Amino acid sequence: MVSVRSHDDVTRLALSAMESTADPRLREIMVSLVRHLHDFVRDVRLTEPEFRDAVAVLNEIGQLVSDTHNEMMLMAGSLGVSSLVCLLNNGDNGNTETAQSLLGPFWRLNSPRVANGGSIVRSGTPGSPLFVKGRVRDRDGRAIVGAEVDVWHSSPVGLYENQDPEQAEMNLRGKLTTDEDGCFAFRSVLMAGYPIPTDGVVGRMLRAQGRHPMRPAHLHALIFKPGFRVLISQVYDPKDPNIESDVQFGVTRALIGDFVQHSEPHPSAKDVVGGWYSLDHTYVMERGEAVLPRPPIR
């Protein structure tokens, strides 16, 4: 005897089908997904043409994914979901502030080693000199010695080296090791903010919402030390005009950097003429298992 007479019956039947999932965690996720999805369809009274459009849009997102472009991840970020997942799973499961942030699409394995105080500028990159000093600490403020610190950032015109034929391989990328005080330091050039790709579904959504596609200027870091959760962080320049409206919702208060503009001569770098910038930042790691993410590009 067929039991479905109304839309409520369909929801009940679909939910009980999800309940038959063997794996308990997958069952929990599928039951909740169907409950929220059905509630969403009721909430907006989704029409049949809108439903067909929605299926076409999801198909298009999948077709836009390649080895070098992830439209789905871009969409997750542009809806705030990536940031939500990050903040829920770090900082004592979302109860305290955290230095964790999004990995982004441009981390590469095996960036070249740089001695403390060295430069990560590998080809002529016009821009203001930037001197970064980082401290890596545990939650009690103790120095973490011998941590491996990958840093990478966009150029002063907002392009990563892998997007820009003008830049040498691995320009503005480097791997440092914290010293006996848990510190690292390097020289670079001040980075700029940049737009995310807007030639796909995400771009259409942003235009429909009157949103700009920009991410504010930031320094990426990935810090590895056994005994600690791998720290994936971004430090933002608060003077960036888009600091309050990051298209990927990645900016949190804990990630605001102390970028300082200087007009006095640099104390040691004699080749610096005119202005320069400094960034002093403390990275705080949480104890846990050190698991490296899969690199999004090679």
3-state secondary structure (DSSP) of residue 96: coil
Q: Which is nearer to Fe ion, 117 or 158 (CB)?
A: 158
Indicate if the alpha-carbon torsion angle 72, 78, 81, 85 is positive or negative.
positive
Check if the beta carbon of residue 283 is closer than 8 Å to that of residue 230.
Answer: no
Length of the chain: 298
Minimum separation from the CB atom of position 106 to Fe ion (A): 6
Check if the beta carbon of residue 197 is closer than 8 Å to that of residue 68.
Answer: no
Minimum separation from the CB atom of position 231 to Fe ion (A): 16
Distances (CA, A) of 63 to 52, 57, 70, 71, 208: 17, 10, 10, 9, 21
Could you tell me which stretch among 69-77, 98-106, 224-232, 240-248 binds Fe ion (CB under 5 A)?
A: 98-106
d(CA 185, CA 160) in angstroms, rounded, equals 21
Residues 6+ apart with CB under 8 A from 94: 87, 88
In the set 104, 134, 213, 250, which binds Fe ion (CB under 5 A)?
104
Minimum separation from the CB atom of position 242 to Fe ion (A): 13
Q: Does 134 bind Fe ion (CB under 5 A)?
A: no
Check if the beta carbon of residue 185 is closer than 8 Å to that of residue 116.
Answer: yes
Q: Which residues in 74-93 contact Fe ion (CB under 5 A)?
A: none
Minimum separation from the CB atom of position 40 to Fe ion (A): 31
What is the residue type of 160? Answer: Y
Could you tell me which stretch among 41-49, 89-97, 102-110, 275-283 binds Fe ion (CB under 5 A)?
A: 102-110
Minimum separation from the CB atom of position 37 to Fe ion (A): 32
Q: Which is nearer to Fe ion, 116 or 245 (CB)?
A: 245
Residues interacting with Fe ion, by CB under 5 A?
Answer: 104
